Amino acid sequence: MSGVLWQMVDHRFTKAHASEYLDGELSPPERERVERHTSVCPKCRALLASLRRMIETLPTLAAQPRPSVEAGVLARLRRDG
Ligand SMILES: [Zn+2]
């Protein structure tokens, strides 16, 4: 396989596993793959940067999976039902 094709495969892999990478859920070889790819791919570097910023600015997101809009809908459903 040519280098360009490998880069496409790594590109897909990196996009698919970006959040796992940031969460430290990837195995060492997988992390290495993501890091090697982001060093040559500005798009994936930007993707990781924006994901990381999102994680940092919304630290309670994981603890509160339900947005307030959805909570309001549920409350209304409960009241009407
Ligand atoms: Zn990429």
Question: Alpha helix (H) ranges present in 1-81?
Answer: 3-22, 28-38, 42-57, 68-80
Structurally, the chain folds into a number of domains equal to 1
18 and 51 in contact (C-beta within 8 Å)?
Answer: yes
Give 19 Cα–ligand 1 centroid separation in angstroms: 14
Average pLDDT over the chain reads: 86
Span 61-79, mean pLDDT?
Answer: 69
**pLDDT higher than 80, residue 1:** no
CA distances 65 to 8, 28, 43, 57, 76, Å, are 33, 29, 28, 15, 19
Q: Which domain holds residue 32?
A: 3-80
Query: Residue 52 Cα, ligand 1 centroid: separation in angstroms?
Result: 16
| Residue 7 to residue 40: CA distance in whole angstroms | 9
pLDDT per residue over 9-46, tens digit each? 999 999 999 999 999 999 999 999 999 999 999 999 99
Neighbours of 40 (CB within 10 A): 12
